[in-house]
A and B are shown apart, each in its own frame.
Chain A
Amino acid sequence: MRLGAVGLSKAYGSVQANRNVSLAVKPQEIHAIVGENGAGKSTLMRLLQGIEQPDAGEIIVDDVPCRISSPRQAFVSGIGMIHQEFMLAPELTLLENLVLGDEPVTGPLARIDWNAARESGDAHAAQAGIEVDWDRKAGTTPVHIQQYVEIIRLLRRGTRVLIMDEPTSVLAPKQVEDLFDLLRKLRDAGTTVLFISHKLKEVMALADRVTVMRRGEVTFSSGVNETAISEVAHHVIGGLDLEQQDPTTGEVSSRKADERVLEVASLRAPAIERSHPLKGIEMFVGAGEIVGLAGVSGNGQSELVECLVGLRKPSSGQIFLEGRDITYATNRQRRDAGLGYVSADRRHEGLALDASIEINSIAGSQRRKPIRRGKIVDLGAMRRTAAERLSKLDVRFGSLRDAVRSLSGGNQQRTVFARETATDPTLLVVSQPTRGVDLRGIAAIHAILHSIRAKGASILLVSEELEEIIDLSDRVYVIADGRIVGETSGDIADVATVGQMMLTGTAQDG
């Protein structure tokens, strides 16, 4: 076994993050670890990386028990990790990033030998079958290329076990396939890959072996060929029946799509700093509709969302909410007109992490009845309103006064929904609702979206999860390079056609 663990346990205070975890990764294997948020995957990775020390148990490298006391030592043992957020320095070129910390040098003055650096980079790139423009700055490089550079960087420094934390979360479908091809090639060339994922389909497509963690323990491990996706899913969510959560309901009899809740006409917005300009967006959302907006990350969807909710000024064009021109209305005016907004950036925009759960669930309503009575705030009403909103969406929390940071990712996201749906908005703009949420949380959020629609609200769903969009939406728009490049009805949409539009930026006939 190339990398393994026997009986690893690790507790943080009273929380047993890992309990008697054993793992065996064979050489030249692609090994997937799946589990919900908080299942203990990250803790296990930290132990394997030497960032934390186990309370009990041992780590095995090349069949020999060994103590990994620091990330540096893990690195020397050939274990390298690529984090979910890439660690390249954005202002440096890819070549500089490649050799950062381990520069090839010449002569007594230890000048950096850039030719040698480039050669070694090219050699590794060629081996992996990819091309890299080494002189590009990392910050302006597409994410999938950045990811390649991270991989090459580790390989160049002798990594034999590559640990990847949710490597596909930032990639478009085609790029995911390319990454998988690359990983398979690396495996065949002798590298071992350990990757963490939420996406079972990807796991089944790529991995040789899958290990499931749940509540800090390994609950299941099997060769991928000897199991099925339903079995793995069953172990991940612990006996919850997945079929029950199947989101396609189609019960939208009262759909009046010609009644337009949101209408966007030739909307343009300038690019600010590194963002993407909008080049004339045309779209609408009908009453009671869920409309999906699909696109590769960074094609203008976040700019569009900001224009819609009033956080960015468009340069031209118009936005109508129920026939009213809201193009230049403030966020508060839009909210009063019936807009709700679930931000993609839950940690920085959707919530104030250090503020209390109470404040987070009532923010925006502090000037409405019953919280405001006369000129002052009724603390009792505020507490009751918060508790009511949270219980409606089944948010589990200790005390209203706790910082919202103390909640799990799924419960944090529910808190956002609890706040944004409490005022019965006519249009809910939902951006990346399931990012960083575990499987059970995803199912719950999908159910929430359906129940909001059932109440008659319309939803604009912006997501990078194609399947999510296609499963939930009545209609799908595809955005590329700041324009709507395609539209398709949810019934006939499929991953392949929408994915094709996303990547080529053109609509397909049929």
Chain B
Amino acid sequence: MAEAATPLRERSIERLEKGFGLVFPFFAALVVASLVLLVIGKNPLLVFSLIAEEAFGSTNRIAATLSATTPLLFTGVATAICFRAGVFNVGVEGAFVVGGLGAAFIGFALPSSLGILLVPIGFALAATVSAFWLAVPGYLLARYEIEEVVSTLMLNFVALGVTGYLVNGPLLSEKSGNNVTPLIHESAELVRLIPPSTLHAGFLVGLFILAAYGFWIRRTPAGIESAIVGQNRRFASAVGISIPATIILVMVISGIVSGLGGASHALGQLHRFAEGFSPGYGFTGMAVALLGRNTAIGILFGSILFGALASAGTTVQLFSDIPLDIVNIIEGTVMIFAVVELGRIALFRRKAVK
């Protein structure tokens, strides 16, 4: 009797939830930011339209936004692939950084006579280094049940320490002051798509990775298996899916994607490696993955949103007396509500079932 009615209703609720999940945190953040703006005596509508203008107002601004979006595409996918399998990998930041250094190293250390070949070599080395980087906590989790949250979080500090040492020591550029490697050869640089903006070919690589991720989760046995593992580990092992193998697989893929992201950032954006290479792209990637519910399309919108906030943030304060903090407040609240929203839905579901 109930069976005819529930599926229909549930499906529409599900659809609502999906759209809502992405939009609600954003609007909640706007409300919070409005309150802050009102308190400091600004007109929220004016400020928001200024931010929107700065993010999407012209070809140049759109290019800047997409440029800021680029690393998030990689870190978003790298995080989502693990979260989807129930592996709480928070080490994308570290893997992104070591990958970036690896690619930059190829870019300046190998002879420039290799030409355009430097790009694929740089990407390959970055992917390899970062894959091993995350394979370690993956193996520890799969084999010894060592909490991945702790091990990956700690590895981030190791990554910062090691790369920090290298760029201040063996790999320090002789020409510039400190904390940076030499610039990469020009032939290793990724093409700039819309000069003068910094939007580079890494963006296209990011889109490709995102599409590949979307294909992988739906159309490959391993992708489907990793979702099952994320849904219910006991069930997964009872139907013959190896949990350890799945954990290591998603960690390695996450490492590869993080490394490619680091390479794209080093070869496309900075053209070198510098201390402070990533202003937290790995962590913003977590917010992107959560906001996008681990779907390819969700990650696309999530990273554009955060990219827009980042690119607007830098210029808004140049041209107005609005503090940069207001953009940070919006970013922070979106992140909080992205997480809160997930929790609320889980609670709502549980109630509905009982």
Chain A residues in the interface with B (C-beta under 8 A): 13-16, 38, 215-216, 309, 311, 330-332, 334-335, 341, 343, 345, 348-355, 359, 363-364, 366-367, 372, 375-377, 379, 396-399, 401-403, 405-408, 411, 419
Contacts and interface: CB of A to CB of B under 8 A. Distances in A.
Across the A-B interface, the 7 shortest Cβ-Cβ residue pairs? A398-B7, A332-B240, A364-B239, A352-B232, A352-B231, A363-B239, A15-B2
B20 interface: no
Q: How large is the interface on B (under 10, 10 to 19, 20 to 34, 35 or more residues)?
A: 20 to 34
Contacts of B175: none
B4 A377 contact: no
A38 B1 contact: yes
Contacts of A311: 237-238
A15 B5 contact: yes
Contacts of B165: none
A217 to B, nearest CB: 11
25 contacts: A14-B9, A215-B1, A216-B1, A311-B237, A332-B241, A348-B234, A348-B235, A349-B232, A351-B235, A359-B227, A363-B239, A364-B239, A364-B240, A364-B241, A366-B221, A367-B221, A372-B221, A379-B218, A379-B219, A398-B8, A402-B11, A405-B353, A406-B3, A406-B10, A408-B2
Contacts of A372: 221
B234 A377 contact: no
A15 B11 CA distance: 16
B231 A377 contact: no
Interface in B226-246: 227-228, 231-232, 234-242
Nearest to A345: B234
Contacts of B225: 366
B320 interface: no
A403 B10 CA distance: 9
Contact of B224 (A13, A14, A216, A366): A366
Contacts of B236: 352, 363
A333 B224 CA distance: 19
B6 A355 contact: no
Residue in A16, A348, A401, A406 with the greatest tally of chain B CB atoms within 10 Å: A406
Given A15-B2, A331-B240, A376-B220, 8 more contacts: A38-B1, A331-B238, A332-B242, A343-B238, A348-B232, A398-B3, A411-B3, A419-B239
Residue in B6, B227, B241 with the greatest tally of chain A CB atoms within 10 Å: B6
Nearest to A375: B220
A423 to B, nearest CB: 11
Given A331-B240, A377-B219, A379-B219, A408 B3 contact: yes
Given A379-B218, A401-B11, A402-B7, A341 B238 contact: yes
Contacts of B223: 377
Given A15-B2, A352-B232, A355-B228, A399 B238 contact: no
A355 B227 contact: yes
Interface in B165-224: 218-221, 223-224
Contacts of A331: 237-240
B85 to A, nearest CB: 13
A14 B225 CA distance: 36
Contacts of B237: 311, 331
A445 B232 CA distance: 25
A399 B220 CA distance: 22
Contacts of B4: 398
Contacts of B8: 398
Contacts of A399: 7, 11
A141 to B, nearest CB: 26
A330 B1 contact: no
A15 B238 contact: no
Nearest to A402: B7
Contact of B219 (A16, A367, A376): A376
A131 B223 CA distance: 56
B294 to A, nearest CB: 13
Contacts of A13: 5, 9
A403 B227 CA distance: 14
